[in-house]
Amino acid sequence: MWRAVLFIVLFSTGCGYRWQPEYPEGHRPTITIPFAQGDADGALTNEIARSIAISGIADVRLKKADYRLEIKILDSNNETIGFRLDKQKVDGKIKKNMVSCESRKIVTIEATLFKSDTDQIAYGPYTITGDTAYDYVDGDSYQDLTFKNSRGITQAVLPFSLGQLESYESAQEAATRPLYSQISQKVVDVISSEW
């Protein structure tokens, strides 16, 4: 009998234990997030601050906080992951070329949580990677950029695509927001696992 009670007590306390910061009841730790190193337009920094604020794990402040979250973008690249056959009529002959039509954007960051305004590391550094895939049209492909309307007149596709067909640069830019959102959620998850 006593073994069963001991097992239940150990099982119920061992699985659910999580360290909590030493703050009075109802007080959340505060955190400041300086501009991320390598974040050209501040979009990643903004998304991380927004995600932390929405999560409720900490109050985001501009100055004077319990913690400072420093972010560095370690790597940002795109890799081609999809191709399609592009048939073009050149000099009366059909040429079959392979063109890219899908890529994956991958960003790797390093997140380190410091105590207040010191250089003492509280948690980390953590390496976090996120990726997202996106489709695009080949700007060099005449077939991708034009169509013949009902009157037989050749017209450009992009004004009629309603965002379905994007150039490589536009598609890459559009993929950045969900990618930063994914990375920000991972940052929140890492901080939550420590607190």
Give the pLDDT of the chain (195 residues) as one tens digit per residue.
Answer: 545 444 454 454 444 434 344 545 567 899 999 999 999 899 999 999 999 999 999 999 988 899 999 999 999 999 999 887 777 666 777 777 777 788 999 999 999 999 988 899 999 899 999 999 988 776 555 555 565 677 877 666 554 444 445 677 788 888 899 999 999 999 999 999 887
Check residue 1 and give its pLDDT: 56
Report if residue 5 sits inside a domain: no
For the entire predicted model, the pTM comes to: 0.71
Q: Which two tokens stand for residue 84?
A: 């399609």
Check residue 104 and give its pLDDT: 94
Report if residue 182 sits inside a domain: yes
- Taking the C-alpha atoms of residue 97 and residue 83, their distance in angstroms, rounded to an integer, is 10
Report if residue 17 sits inside a domain: no
* Number of structural domains in the chain: 1
Report if residue 115 sits inside a domain: yes
Report if residue 122 sits inside a domain: yes
Query: Which domain does 127 fall in, by range?
Result: 27-194
Question: Is the link from the previous residue into 125 a cis peptide, with omega within 30 of 0?
Answer: yes
Check residue 21 and give its pLDDT: 47
Check residue 140 and give its pLDDT: 53
Report if residue 2 sits inside a domain: no
Report if residue 8 sits inside a domain: no
Q: What's the 3-state SS for the chain?
A: CHHHHHHHHHHHHHHHCCCCCCCCCCCCCEEECCCCECCCCCHHHHHHHHHHHHHCCCEEECCCCCEEEEEEEEEEEEEEEEEEEEEEEECCEEEEEEEEEEEEEEEEEEEEEEECCCCCEEEEEEEEEEEEEEECCCCCCHHHHEEECCCCCEEECHHHCCCCCCCHHHHHHHHHHHHHHHHHHHHHHHHHHHC
CATH number of residue 33's parent domain:
3.30.160.150
Q: Is the dihedral of CA 179, 180, 185, 187 positive or negative?
A: positive
Confirm if 76 and 103 have CB atoms less than 8 A apart: no
Burial class (CB in 10 A: 0-12, 13-18, 19+), 47: buried
Report if residue 12 sits inside a domain: no
B/e letters for 32-46, b = 16+ CB within 10 Å, e = fewer, are bbeebeebeeeebbb
Burial class (CB in 10 A: 0-12, 13-18, 19+), 73: middle
Check residue 5 and give its pLDDT: 42
